[in-house]
Amino acid sequence: MEPVLPPTGDALLEDLSARLIATANRLAGQINPVVREAIGDLVRTMNCYYSNLIEGHDTHPRDIERALASEYSQNAQKRVLQHEARAHIEVQKMIDFRTDLSASVTSVEYIHWVHREFCSRLPDDLLWITDPENKQELHVVPGNNRQVDVVVGRHVPPAASDLGVYLTRFSDAYDGSRLSSVQKIIAVAAAHHRLLWIHPFLDGNGRVARLISHAMLRDAQVGSSLWSVARGLSRRVSDYRAALTDADSVRRGDLDGRGNLSLSALKAFCVFFLESAIDQVEFMQSILQPSELSRRIKLHVDDEISAGILPRGSMGLLREALLAGEFERGRAADLTGYQERRARDVLSALLARGLLVSTTPKGPVRLGFPIDVLERWLPNLYPGDVISPECP
């Protein structure tokens, strides 16, 4: 699988890495940490939705939300996809809150851990695949390398007996402790392809590769729960798949590196991946710009007040939650300008709608992002009007 990385000093890749670092830092700095955590829950759902789409599984955001609340569909096919979505979100949350292993995020142990944690949460229906050669049913063992040789499209991954060698090389090559800050960013892109090229598991390789990329971005201190590279890859899924396939290519002559695989194709994939990441950071930066977010919330709240759905005084509480992160319930009167009883009614109405949320019945309140308001508050998170209508 050599080369594992483009050579140091590549101007384009280093410029893209520097740009990703700068934009990610700006995004992280523009949102209150408490609000950032709330948006993180939302983005994990969004990341799951787009990762599902890449796999060809169209799971409606409302069904994902219901799965997180343990409300599963009576439809067997939809229910299976809900379990898959919940598994993805739970594993990403473990990565986000560092409740994962202490091992390096590129280690063989970590890769197996991600696969095990994801697959062990799936219904048994999703843990069987059919061998296209002999039509034999094969069981996917969570966290275990495949025990058979496979063909993926036109790509022939390493033999099952050689997976240990390839995964060890992967772990060593992309170990962040051995790389500069810029090389760490480029390594995320290169490792994404090379892990898929190794194809260590019978199934779940795409999902694991995207979760490992997420973990590597966080480890490189540019990734966060505020943006998702999966959204960018999904929105250009044909280009993504074509770039992956091209990076499988063998070396194209003496000027194409010194390894077995094409250096120019690996670089092209890295450029595509990093451009997709930058695009998503800049997108989230645009919709989370505080003054614009506040303006969109106010327009929505004004409409809701006019329709008699929300009480007057609502915006004062929502604005405080956006800017301060959270506030004590006893401040509702000051923030609305109403008497205490009426202020409590306003607060209760916002809590009932999920526009404000709280960990405990009497604890501080913070901003909520229920799915019904996303298109108004954070437009274009999902394609078209996918979250506007109720799920059939």
Is the model's pLDDT at 261 over the cut of 70? yes
- For residues 83-94, average pLDDT: 95
Given a cut of 70, whether residue 12 has pLDDT beyond it is yes
Residue at token pair 């999904």: 234
Domain positions in the chain are 11-287, 290-377
Burial class (CB in 10 A: 0-12, 13-18, 19+), 223: buried
Whether the predicted pLDDT of 391 surpasses 60:
no
Indicate the SS3 state at residue 230.
helix
Secondary structure element (H or E) that encloses residue 163, with its range:
helix 163-173
DSSP letter assigned to residue 141: P
CATH number of the 11-287 domain: 1.10.3290.10
Cβ neighbour number for residue 99 with a 10 Å cutoff: 8
pLDDT of residue 134: 78
Question: For 275-304, what is the mean pLDDT?
Answer: 96
pLDDT value of position 389: 45
Under 8 Å between Cβ of 80 and 126:
yes
What does the pLDDT average to over 262-288?
97
Two tokens, residue 381:
């998170």
Task: HSE, CB side, 13 Å, CA atoms: give it for residue 94.
Answer: 19
Beta strands in 124-245 (DSSP E): 128-130, 137-139
Neighbouring CB atoms inside 10 A of 103's CB total 14
* CA distance linking residue 207 with residue 59, whole number of Å: 15
The whole-angstrom separation of Cα 197 and Cα 156 is: 9
Average of pLDDT values for 128-153? 90
Work out the pLDDT band at 385, boundaries 50, 70, 90.
Answer: low
Q: What is the pLDDT of residue 392?
A: 38
Looking at the domain 290-377, which fold is it?
A: Arc Repressor Mutant, subunit A (1.10.10)
216 and 179 in contact (C-beta within 8 Å)? no
Q: What's the rounded Cα separation, in Å, for the pair 387 and 392? A: 12
Asked whether the beta carbons of 284 and 25 are under 8 A apart, the reply is no
- Per residue in 96-115, pLDDT (tens digit) is 887 666 789 999 999 999 99
